[in-house]
């Protein structure tokens, strides 16, 4: 294996991270297959862009409702057991949908109910997966492991979305859901095989509510964490709903590609996302991640504007690939900063803080659905892209100095930032009394 290839995939040499990564790959495949299949199903039942945005909102709502709780649970509980439980719930949800569609008994309310159930499982699954990464790889491989995790998500935008589109040719939506249920069985097997190091956890005398309060105090004392999660609000509300809302509508209504075209465009987005995540995985560190976050946001907003003006299938697919690349590298930068600039015992709660942002994607999806119903697909997407551009530029003007000051992701201010007895904690260090209390 060439040195460059070994560098890109170096985190996979760790056995238990490999199982986590394989599980993430299978889990991501089912997520993207579900996204395509659920969009097709709700459009078949209702033929309504607003209903599409509402079912997306219901699927993502549990992230807002339970995301922070999931982070606190991850910091105080057996993370492997949480993964197992969430995967069994997701398997049951997909199996139910597959049976109901195949039997001809499917109803709109069932699509919404299973969307909420699957979203609830996802709300607990992803913070646990992210917070497990630092426990399974050494610090020097953390950025690479995060990027490879994003690569699994991104590749399955291609694999999962495209596979769902291909399966919709010989099968109906019910068949797709039965296949995703089988995939979850394989994901559960990888979790069983994974060995998670035992953590020395203090005896808890506090409630989850107190743990959440402690997490907010910790984050409030860290300007870097506040700034990075604040910036994410812009993309989660105005940008990221493009994948759930606009891609299906562009495929079915604007470009007239049919049901399988939804998977094709989702695959184009995933191709760009995969390329972006592999690029990040090949990097040993990010020297100025704050500035790179800002650049990503601006390019992403510009890509959405360009997609709204593009009338060809090839041009739309290429621009969706660019948007996918920017979105996944943005998330890799964000997760890298959050994990490196927080103490290990706070990883679950810090990562789950993004759940507050992700939980607002339903608001963005509903907003996108209303705009589409009012203005049509292309004008609505143009307005969303311009909003991302303007807000990102404003954020760069206001907080550019702070963004430029965010240190490299391999700096010692990450894992080692929670030091006992430090006389004068740096800005990215939690209050001394909070650390000592742990």
Which pLDDT band, with edges at 50, 70 and 90, does 301 fall under?
very high
* pLDDT recorded at residue 409: 52
Calpha distance 76→244 (Å, rounded)? 33
Q: What percent of the chain has pLDDT over 70?
A: 85
* pLDDT recorded at residue 284: 59
Q: Is 150:280 a contact under the CB 8 Å cutoff?
A: yes
* pLDDT recorded at residue 206: 63
* pLDDT recorded at residue 285: 63
Is 286 or 254 the better-scoring residue by pLDDT? 254
Which pLDDT band, with edges at 50, 70 and 90, does 3 fall under?
low
Which pLDDT band, with edges at 50, 70 and 90, does 300 fall under?
very high
Query: Is the pLDDT confidence value at 414 over 80?
Result: no
pTM: 0.65
* pLDDT recorded at residue 218: 85
| CA torsion through residues 265, 269, 270, 272, sign | positive
Is 398 or 288 the better-scoring residue by pLDDT? 398
Which pLDDT band, with edges at 50, 70 and 90, does 359 fall under?
low
Q: Report the Cα 385 to chain-centroid distance in Å.
A: 20
* pLDDT recorded at residue 4: 57
Which alpha helices (H) appear in 103-222, and where do they start and end? 108-136, 142-167, 173-193, 208-220
Calpha distance 260→237 (Å, rounded)? 27
Domains and their CATH numbers in the chain: 9-192+208-436 (1.20.1250.20)
- Give the tens place of pLDDT for each residue, 335-347: 778 877 887 777 7
Q: What is the largest CA-CA distance in the chain?
A: 68
- Give the tens place of pLDDT for each residue, 269-287: 878 877 887 887 776 566 6
* Average of per-residue pLDDT values in the chain: 80
């Amino acid at each position: 294996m060439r040195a460059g290839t070994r560098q890109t995939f170096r985190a996979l040499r760790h056995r238990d991270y490999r199982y986590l990564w394989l599980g993430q790959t299978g889990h991501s495949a089912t997520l993207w297959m579900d996204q395509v299949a659920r969009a097709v199903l709700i459009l078949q039942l209702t033929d309504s862009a607003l209903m599409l945005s509402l079912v997306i909102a219901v699927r993502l709502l549990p992230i807002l409702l339970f995301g922070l709780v999931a982070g606190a649970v991850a910091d105080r509980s057996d993370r492997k057991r949480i993964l197992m439980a969430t995967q069994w719930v997701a398997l049951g949800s997909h199996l139910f949908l597959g049976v109901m569609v195949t039997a001809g008994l499917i109803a709109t309310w069932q699509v919404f109910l299973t969307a909420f159930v699957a979203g609830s499982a996802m709300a607990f699954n992803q913070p646990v997966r992210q917070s497990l990464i630092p426990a399974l790889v050494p610090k020097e491989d953390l950025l690479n492991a995060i990027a490879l995790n994003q690569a699994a998500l991104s590749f399955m935008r291609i694999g999962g979305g495209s596979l769902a589109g291909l399966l919709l040719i010989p099968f109906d939506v019910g068949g797709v859901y039965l296949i995703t249920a089988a995939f979850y069985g394989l994901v559960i097997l990888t979790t069983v095989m994974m060995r998670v190091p035992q953590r020395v956890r203090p005896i808890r005398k506090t409630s989850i509510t107190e743990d959440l309060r402690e997490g907010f105090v910790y984050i409030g004392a860290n300007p870097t964490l506040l700034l990075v999660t604040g910036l994410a609000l812009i993309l989660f509300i105005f940008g990221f709903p493009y994948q759930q809302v606009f891609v299906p509508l562009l495929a079915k209504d604007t470009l007239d590609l049919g049901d399988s075209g939804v998977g094709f465009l989702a695959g184009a987005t995933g191709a760009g996302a995969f390329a972006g995540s592999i690029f990040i995985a090949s990097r040993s560190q990010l020297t100025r991640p704050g500035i790179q976050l800002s650049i990503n946001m601006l390019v992403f907003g510009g890509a959405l504007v360009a997609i709204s003006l593009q009338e060809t299938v090839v041009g739309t697919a290429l621009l969706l690939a660019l948007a996918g690349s920017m979105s996944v590298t943005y998330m890799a930068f964000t997760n890298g900063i959050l994990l490196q600039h927080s103490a290990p015992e706070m990883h679950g709660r810090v990562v789950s803080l993004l759940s507050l942002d992700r939980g607002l994607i339903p608001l963005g999806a509903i907003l996108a659905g209303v705009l589409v119903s009012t203005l049509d697909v292309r004008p609505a997407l143009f307005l969303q892209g311009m909003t991302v551009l303007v807000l990102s530029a404003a954020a760069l003007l206001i907080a550019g100095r702070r963004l430029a000051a965010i240190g490299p992701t391999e700096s010692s201010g990450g894992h080692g930032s929670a030091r006992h007895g430090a006389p004068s904690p740096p800005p990215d260090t939690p209050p001394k009394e909070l650390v000592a209390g742990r």
